[in-house]
Amino acid sequence: MKKFQAQPGFVVQAFRFALDPNVTQEHALRSHCGAARAAYNWAVGWVEASWWQRRAEESYGVAEEQLTKWRPWSLPVLRKAFNETKHTDPRFAAWWEENSKEAYSTGLANASAAFDNYAKSKRGKRRGRAMGMPRFRSKRKARLSCRFTTGTIRVDTDGRHVTLPRLGTVRTHECTVKLLDRVQAATARILSATVRHERGRWFVSFQAEVKRDLERVARPDVAVGIDLGVKTLAVMADSTGEIRQVPNLGHYDTARRQLRRASRIVSRRQGPDRRTGRQPSKRWEKANAQRNKVHHRVANLRADALHKLTTSVAAEYGTVVVEDLNVAGMLRNRRLARRIADAGFGEIRRQLTYKTRRRHATRLVVADRWYPSSKTCSGCGAVKAKLPLHVRSYECDACGLVIDRDDNAALNLAALATACVTGTGVAGDQDTAPAVSKPRGADQKTRATRTRRETVTGRAGGATLPQQRQTEARDRTQAEPLTLW
C-alpha cells in the first residue's frame, strides 16, 4: 500500500456503508451510543447547574462578586471535568469502562457545540432561527450516534468488513471497494468514522480526505432551468429549447393504504404509556416494527429517485438554474404540505449544491425568490400582473404565445443563466442571486410591522451590532456567559 501524502486538490468526502452486526456487536453499538447520550446529558447538567445556582443566589441578594462562577463549556474543560467525576459519579462508575473514550467525547463535543450555538444565537451572531438552551436528551427519542476520531479505523482488505475501536471487525451489507481502492492507491486518507442507527439499520460513515479528479460534464455550454412542482416533480428546459418532464412518483401517497392498515394494527395493541409507566407488549413492538418498515421503504425510494435526478443533471449541464423556494413557508399550507414534503424540494436544492461543486466546469445559479418566472413570457419578456395557481396555461397578451405554465417557467430560468454577472451564482453560493432587474422594481415584499427580533434588539435581522456592542461581545468569554434571564 502506498503512503498517503496530502496535496492540493484534496477534499473531504464521506463514504457511507450499511453494517451487518451480530447480536453482540449490535449491543456494543447501542452501548456506545447510549454512553454518548449520557455524557451529553451530564455536560448539560454540569454547565447549567452554575446558572441555576447564580439565579438562586441573586434572589437572596448575594453580591455580584460573591456569586458562583460561571462554568465554561469548551470541550477541553468538559473533558477534564468529566474525567474527574466519572470514577465517583454513580451514573458512570459501574460501566464507563465498557465503552471507548470516543463515545463520551462525542457527547461532550455535541454539548459544547450546542452551547456555542445558543450563545451565538442569543448575541445575534448566528443565522437562522433562534436557538434555545440545550435540553436533556431522552433515552426513548434520542438518535443513536457515535463518532470515532482515534484508534483503529480502517476498511479491511476483503472489501466486506470494517474495523472500529472497541467494536472490532464488523461485516458490511455492501462492498466497500469504492473507498478501499482509494486508500490502497494513496489517494484517500480516513479521518474519522461515525456509526448511526437510521431507518432500522446501522450505518457507518467514513470521513476521508480524497483527491478530487476533474469530472467533466456532457454539455458544458448548455444551461438548464429546473422548475419544481407537485404534479410534475421537475420540468427541465435547456438553453437549446429542449424541454423534459420528470414525473412525481408520489411514494408516500402510494404507500398510504399500506400505512393505514399497519397503523390500525398498531393502535389495537397495548402500547407504551409514560403517564402510568406501562411497557409496550411484544405484539405492539412487532406491529410497530412492521409500520416503520413501510416508512423506511418510502424514504429509501424517495432518496434513490432524488439522487438519480440530481446526479444526471449535474453530469450533463454546465449551468444549472434553480429557484430559491421558501419550502418552510410552503409546508404551512395544510392542503399541499404532504405532497410538498413527499417531493423533497429542499433535498433537491441541497444535493444540486454539493454535486455541482464537485465538478469544476459546472455552476449552480439560484434565482431570486421574487423573480416572476411563471408570470414572465419566455417569448417576448412581458410580465403579467397576476397569474393564479389554478391557471395551468400561460397566454401572453403581448405576443400571443400559448405555453404550459411550468414549461414557460423553466425556459425563463434557463434564460436567466445568461443574465448573471460574472462571479455570482457559482456552485454552492446560495446567498448570492443573479443581477436581474425586477419587473416591479421590488427586491422583497413590503413589511408593514416590525418583526419580533427588531422590536427586541432595535435593529433589522441582517444589520450589524453597534461598535460598542461588538467590542463587548468580542471581549466576553465563556467563563462569563451572557445573561440568560
Judge if 198 and 223 occupy the same domain: no
Judge if 50 and 188 occupy the same domain: yes
358 band by pLDDT with thresholds 50, 70 and 90: confident
Q: Is residue 443 part of a domain?
A: no
Distance between CA atoms of residues 103 and 90, nearest Å? 18
- What is the reported pLDDT for 224? 93
Q: Is residue 432 part of a domain?
A: no
Q: State the Cα angle at 304 between 301 and 308, rounded to 5°.
A: 140
Domain interval for residue 118? 6-213
pLDDT tens-digit profile of 78-99?
999 999 999 998 889 889 999 9
The C-alpha cell at 464 is 450589524
Q: Is residue 153 part of a domain?
A: yes
Query: How many domains does the structure of the chain reveal?
Result: 2
**pLDDT of 339 higher than 70:** yes
**pLDDT of 213 higher than 90:** no
Q: Is residue 264 part of a domain?
A: no
Q: Is residue 289 part of a domain?
A: no
Judge if 187 and 233 occupy the same domain: no
The catalytic position among 48, 102, 238, 323 is 323
Q: Is residue 389 part of a domain?
A: yes
Q: Is residue 479 part of a domain?
A: no
- What is the reported pLDDT for 18? 95
The residue from 213, 239, 274 where one domain ends is 213
Q: Which CATH number fits the domain that encloses residue 413?
A: 3.30.420
The residue from 419, 446, 470 where one domain ends is 419
- What is the reported pLDDT for 165? 94
Judge if 43 and 163 occupy the same domain: yes
Known catalytic residue at 158? no
Judge if 103 and 232 occupy the same domain: no
The catalytic position among 227, 238, 342, 407 is 227
In the sheet that holds 10-18, the strands lie side by side as: 10-18, 201-211, 188-198, 145-148
Known catalytic residue at 323? yes
Q: Is residue 340 part of a domain?
A: yes
pLDDT tens-digit profile of 436-473?
434 444 444 444 434 333 333 333 333 443 444 444 44
Distance between CA atoms of residues 109 and 121, nearest Å? 18
Q: Which amino acid is at 366?
A: V
The residue from 187, 213, 239 where one domain ends is 213
Judge if 197 and 223 occupy the same domain: no
Known catalytic residue at 227? yes
Judge if 130 and 191 occupy the same domain: yes
pLDDT tens-digit profile of 289-299?
999 999 999 99
pLDDT tens-digit profile of 371-406?
898 999 988 888 988 888 888 888 888 888 899 999
Judge if 240 and 153 occupy the same domain: no
Judge if 103 and 234 occupy the same domain: no
Judge if 19 and 106 occupy the same domain: yes
What percent of the chain shows pLDDT beyond 90? 59
Judge if 230 and 141 occupy the same domain: no
**Mean pLDDT of the residues in the chain:** 84
326 contacts 226 by C-beta, under 8 angstroms: no
**Greater confidence, 286 or 241?**
286
Judge if 207 and 235 occupy the same domain: no
The catalytic position among 102, 238, 342, 406 is 406
Contacts of residue 6, Cβ cutoff 8 Å, sequence gap at least 6? 189, 209
